Structure 1
Amino acid sequence: MYKWEYQIVLERLYYLHIWHRFDCYQNMVSSLECYFLKINLVLNLCNLRARLFFFNRTKDSMYHALTYATILEMQAMMTFDAQDMLNAGNTMKEAQAICQKFRKKLTVADSFNNLVHRQNLEHFTEEEIHAEICYAECLLHRAALTFLQDENMVSFIKGGIKVRNSYQTYRELDSLIQSPNYVKGKNYLHFEGGVKLGVGAFNLTLSMFPTRILRLLEFVGISGSKVNITHLVGLCTMLLLCYHTFMTFVLGTGKGNVEEAERLLKPYLARYPKGAIFLFFAGRIETIKGNIDTAVSRFEECCEAQQHWKQFHHMCYWELMWCFTYKRQWRMAYFYADLLSKENNWSKVTYIYMKAAYLSMFGPDDHRPFGDNEVELFRIVPSLKLKIAGKSLPTEKFAIRKSRRYLPSNPVPLPVPALEMMYIWNGYAVIGKCPDLTEGMLQTLTEAEAALERSPATELLADDQCLVKLLKGLCLKHLGKISEAEDHFIYIHLNERKIKYDHYLIPNALLELAVLYMDHGRREEGVKFLERAKQNYKNYSMETRTHFRIQAALHQAKSVSENGVHSGASAVS
């Protein structure tokens, strides 16, 4: 028997074992257990059979209905296809109706009493409280689909109401768990897991929001612990992996908890060595650690692990595009941007912009793939704009505004568009772990700076010079040249009046200066510049992402203060 035939036999035996386990539990399985079994099936290349199995029981089981709808939602989220979103939305609505059948039937008097007092969940049966948590999850999923599918304000408000109702249900169920009068049923552990997952996920999200957004959420009744990761440990590894490898990295200061992510992933990667999503996170962890070649291997392995959902491939293509950007291999980076532009619908604007950006990094003698021309690509970017929940994606707004420099009337080339977008996604925190990659990027930026000095003066010259100064400052910081990095960030601060369009550079320069100070024991100065960046600048590109990063840096400063680290003297007026 060939090795691949042997592997197929083993996989079939494993799936039969999983199926037998599911048959044994199908009449009592909780939403959380159903979720983990879904991972076993879907992530071990059994997607079609998993969908058929859950579909067969969606009319009489709230767990199967919710899980099947979730699978369709996962597909819709990755394809961004209008029909997939419609199918997922309708299926989730049907799942919510199934959950409603199992919820406690309330009289008119009960309903009126609940308007005045919170409902007493202690008198619910075990099935009824399980129905509550499934119903709350359906509300949350439907809200997410509403935000993605519809653009009008009425739909946006409806989605917000669903989120609020879901949040309140999770909070009530959490109070029930803590009540001394609650009688635990046989499936209590699964129920508690589902509740802690919901409450923990809300709190984790709230912990990252800037203060102004939190005030708005509290006004409509949504508030929670700033950080309560203990609710999630052991319950939702993938959510925590997303938090440590994406949320805190992209929306923070590039200091995600890699050690914790590795610890969480290790047992799952051992159990599912060909599980696409776990291979993906393994690649992401290697990227953050600066092991770019290893990351590339992991993402390629992830693509080979399954063929059912091409969207997993697209997630890997996105990461591979950045990996080759860090290595300054523009042709390979272009290759993956081109694949994404042809196969994925998430943001055509971003993909075409990145194709053009990489072409602009080619040397004058380098062959352009497929005969593409960066100027032509930049010019079609504005026509590809996408709206979600009535709003354009911030990254698309940024790319469109940058592309307008290539209008036929008076085109002014962008100096380093690929490296600028790399900053937006916090890529300098990645190469900062690799001195050789950082040195190479610094060399590219130095050459761009020299080219600007030789170019004719335009109204955009100060913008371009400050951009290069910001990116060079980051490279210098990671290379340990602190004084030089400080000078580059201060240069932008002192020349802010000369900047005509790229006003986002000023608060970001102050942010980077503040982080630099805090990293070297000058906390008070760092906080001063963070507050200045937060309060004094508005209506600039990628403003929300900058505020997330400022918030993360303020959390860092608070942590430093509580640990008794002293700050130094200021060098900036």
Structure 2
Amino acid sequence: MKPSGGIHLAYSTPNLNQNDAKVEHKEAARSLSDDDFHDAPEYWAHRKDINLLECIAEARIAMNLFLNNHFEEAEARLKPLSDKTMYHALGYSTLLFLQAMMTCDRADMEKAMVQSQKAVDVIHRFRAQYSISDSIFRLSGHYKALTDEEIHAELCYAEALLFRAALTFFYDESLASFIKGAFKIRACFMSYRECYRILNSQAWTSRDQKMRDEFESGVLLGLGSFNVALSVLPGKLLKLLQVIGFNGNRAHGMNNLLKVASMTHTLRSTMCSLQLITWELFVNFFIGEGKPNTRLCTRLFHDLNFLYPNGAIILFLRARFYLTSGDVDNAIFFYNKSIQCQTYYRQFHHVCYWELQFAYAMLGRWDWAANHCKRLKDESRWSRCVYTYLLAIYINAYDRGPESEATWRLLCRKIPNIRLRIAGKSIPIEKFCERKSKRFLAENRMYLAHYEFLYFWNVFTILEARPQAFIPEILSNIEQYKVENPTEDPNDLSVYEFLRGVCYRALGELEKAESCFFKVIQNEPRLTDNFYLVPNSTFELSQIRFAQNNLTEAEGLLNKVKQYKGYSLENKLLFRVHAAMENVNKRKG
């Protein structure tokens, strides 16, 4: 349905019947609205004898407040002692870091940068006075001489360095800043490795088991995160990083994270659960794995839904879970519920709007998808270039009249002037949007641009969860589009054949899919734009061979993809190639 009179911002929660199963938690949850919770900051600020376990408990309460949308109370809980205890300093820095990441506001980033440095300084005061990485000290087995505060200070120091490094990348986009951030990450990783030595030393004799559990969960969370993150990098880059001390074993890293998530009595367990869910529902699709571990997510959501039933972050992740399962109506319901449950971090609404525009695109509701993109373009600072591009292609998707054409042409002309640069480099997806918009203006048409973008943002991978519910209609729309918009341009014909091939592969009609991809590859000498379609078609052919258990040819095609250079979104495809090659090697045994 096309809205009249232009684009309207219409945001209402769909009228859906929700029959959420009631869950029982194995531990009684204390209400986060108790008076003593809100009075506590003043109480702690006047105490001089607050011990380490009490500080950890305070940080955990603040985290629970934050995840239940009590954002101001969470900050008030930590700020008074953020210059006195390591966990208050780290916790307050973490909250400001999250705020900066959600808002992308320069002032918020500067505030988070200042606090992250303060946290590093505060935590450093609690570290052992000598260098804890001194090899003579380590080999002498004197970890036993460290106090609980000194041991935990090394862990908190590693975590604070990681936040500091991440903010360095975003706040200062120069090459020098990028290098500084890289060194901070290496220092962070080395500190985590030192913590691991402490964890496995004799230092824990006669110490409080709770103290060890909190330390163990933090160490395993850090090292597990590094292992999992590094494991997705292409082999050559990973080998280079291993030379300077980094490791990337995904299975080992996942085992560490799963153990931390099971340590529900510790501070970092909840954050680890959120990290695992984020990996399954977001990163898996970005690196080309797809098919998230739904059983793991369901198990992790069991406790999170009970503890934070109306938490904006939890509701958002539940929505994403439904989206990746192909249940788009429930996804839309929970995205809107996440928006409605809090107004303090309005920028977090933008994350929901971003997801909602894809949800409506999956349903073919291009008008509603455009509505959300317009709101993002007007309100969000993340990437006005991408928002503008999406708004243009969605307008063209649902209305091809002269007024809409004038609108999308105006939008496309703006795109080159609103691109961002990070660490002195252009963002690949923004470069893609600029190149495509220039082609649209030159050719005076968009050819299936809306479906093309959905492919490159892995939406077709999500649709494969329920292919019969979505793909036949999409395929019909693509074929009808060609009938209504005949062309002999090999660039446009290649887009058409490529998208048909993607649809046929999702439906399991592999011979038809193969024919489409071969047509794209055969068009290569005639292409003047859209060169990226050839390596992507080669990759899709490799996945057909993998499905047919022809591993030798699948591997050969993946190696062929690696030989293509200089095309749009190259690194994005190489992540998928790396994941696909791992799958081939696993099946080979």
Alignment of 1:107-146 (within 5 A): 121-146=143-168
Whole-Å separation in 1 of the counterparts to 2:155 and 2:134: 22
Maintained 8 Å contact 1:472/1:485: yes
Whole-Å separation in 1 of the counterparts to 2:238 and 2:440: 39
Whole-Å separation in 1 of the counterparts to 2:133 and 2:582: 42
Maintained 8 Å contact 1:476/1:484: yes
Whole-Å separation in 1 of the counterparts to 2:184 and 2:238: 18
- Please name the residue that 2:543 is paired with: 515
Whole-Å separation in 2 of the counterparts to 1:485 and 1:106: 64
Determine whether 1:384 maps to 2:406.
no
- Please name the residue that 1:196 is paired with: 220
Q: Secondary structure at the match of 2:505?
A: helix
Determine whether 1:232 maps to 2:251.
no
Question: 1:560: how far off?
Answer: 1.9
- Please name the residue that 2:187 is paired with: 165
Alignment of 1:40-439 (within 5 A): 40-106=64-130, 121-180=143-202, 182-183=204-205, 185-186=207-208, 187-227=211-251, 228-233=253-258, 234=261, 235=269, 236-364=272-400, 373-407=407-441, 410-432=442-464, 433-439=466-472
- Which of residues 420, 428, 440 is equivalent to 2:473? 440
Maintained 8 Å contact 2:361/2:369: yes
Maintained 8 Å contact 1:150/1:390: no
Question: 1:561: how far off?
Answer: 2.1
Whole-Å separation in 2 of the counterparts to 1:182 and 1:18: 32
Whole-Å separation in 2 of the counterparts to 1:349 and 1:184: 58
Whole-Å separation in 1 of the counterparts to 2:54 and 2:532: 48
Whole-Å separation in 1 of the counterparts to 2:517 and 2:55: 51
Q: 1:240 corresponds to which letter in structure 2?
A: L
Question: 1:405: how far off?
Answer: 1.7
Q: 2:436 corresponds to which letter in structure 1?
A: K
Q: 1:533 corresponds to which letter in structure 2?
A: V
Whole-Å separation in 2 of the counterparts to 1:44 and 1:549: 36
- Which of residues 558, 573, 580 is equivalent to 1:553? 580
Q: Which moved more, 1:345-354 or 1:224-233?
A: 224-233
Give the unaligned 5+ runs of structure 2: 1-28, 262-268
Whole-Å separation in 2 of the counterparts to 1:147 and 1:115: 34
Question: 1:133: how far off?
Answer: 0.8
Q: Which moved more, 1:345-354 or 1:552-561?
A: 552-561
* Structure with the larger RCO, 1 or 2 (CA within 8 Å, 6+ apart): 2
- Please name the residue that 1:540 is paired with: 567
Whole-Å separation in 2 of the counterparts to 1:365 and 1:300: 31
Q: Secondary structure at the match of 1:396?
A: helix
Question: 1:14: how far off?
Answer: 3.2
Taking a change above 3 Å as real, the CA distance of residues 99 and 164 of structure 1, as seen in their structure-2 partners, is same
Question: 1:26: how far off?
Answer: 5.8
Taking a change above 3 Å as real, the CA distance of residues 342 and 164 of structure 1, as seen in their structure-2 partners, is same
Whole-Å separation in 2 of the counterparts to 1:194 and 1:30: 17
Taking a change above 3 Å as real, the CA distance of residues 116 and 293 of structure 1, as seen in their structure-2 partners, is closer
Taking a change above 3 Å as real, the CA distance of residues 37 and 468 of structure 1, as seen in their structure-2 partners, is farther
Q: 2:33 corresponds to which letter in structure 1?
A: Y
Q: 2:254 corresponds to which letter in structure 1?
A: I
Question: 1:359: how far off?
Answer: 0.8
- Please name the residue that 1:487 is paired with: 515
Q: Secondary structure at the match of 2:310?
A: coil
Whole-Å separation in 2 of the counterparts to 1:208 and 1:286: 25
Q: How many equivalent residue pairs?
A: 541
Taking a change above 3 Å as real, the CA distance of residues 96 and 373 of structure 1, as seen in their structure-2 partners, is same
Question: 1:412: how far off?
Answer: 3.7
Q: 2:371 corresponds to which letter in structure 1?
A: F
Question: 1:364: how far off?
Answer: 3.4
Question: 1:29: how far off?
Answer: 3.3
Identical-residue share of aligned pairs (%): 32
Q: Secondary structure at the match of 2:53?
A: coil
Whole-Å separation in 2 of the counterparts to 1:115 and 1:468: 65
TM-score normalized with structure 2 length: 0.86
Taking a change above 3 Å as real, the CA distance of residues 41 and 159 of structure 1, as seen in their structure-2 partners, is same
Maintained 8 Å contact 1:321/1:337: yes
Whole-Å separation in 2 of the counterparts to 1:183 and 1:136: 24
TM-score normalized with structure 1 length: 0.89
How big is the alpha-carbon RMSD for the aligned residues of Structure 1 and Structure 2?
A: 2.6
- Please name the residue that 2:502 is paired with: 474
Q: 1:172 corresponds to which letter in structure 2?
A: E
Question: 1:264: how far off?
Answer: 1.3
Q: 1:437 corresponds to which letter in structure 2?
A: F
Question: 1:38: how far off?
Answer: 3.0
Whole-Å separation in 2 of the counterparts to 1:420 and 1:124: 58
Question: 1:226: how far off?
Answer: 3.5
Maintained 8 Å contact 1:30/1:190: no
Taking a change above 3 Å as real, the CA distance of residues 495 and 253 of structure 1, as seen in their structure-2 partners, is farther
Whole-Å separation in 1 of the counterparts to 2:99 and 2:310: 20
Whole-Å separation in 2 of the counterparts to 1:383 and 1:557: 43
- Please name the residue that 1:7 is paired with: none
Alignment of 1:456-475 (within 5 A): 457=488, 461-475=489-503
Maintained 8 Å contact 1:29/1:63: no
Q: 2:438 corresponds to which letter in structure 1?
A: R
Maintained 8 Å contact 2:517/2:540: yes
Whole-Å separation in 1 of the counterparts to 2:573 and 2:72: 41
Q: Secondary structure at the match of 1:156?
A: helix
- Which of residues 2, 16, 21 is equivalent to 2:35? 16
Give the unaligned 5+ runs of structure 1: 1-9, 563-573
Whole-Å separation in 2 of the counterparts to 1:435 and 1:443: 13
Q: Secondary structure at the match of 1:29?
A: helix
Q: Secondary structure at the match of 2:447?
A: coil
Q: Which moved more, 1:546-555 or 1:180-189?
A: 180-189
Whole-Å separation in 1 of the counterparts to 2:432 and 2:139: 48
Q: Which moved more, 1:96-105 or 1:506-515?
A: 506-515
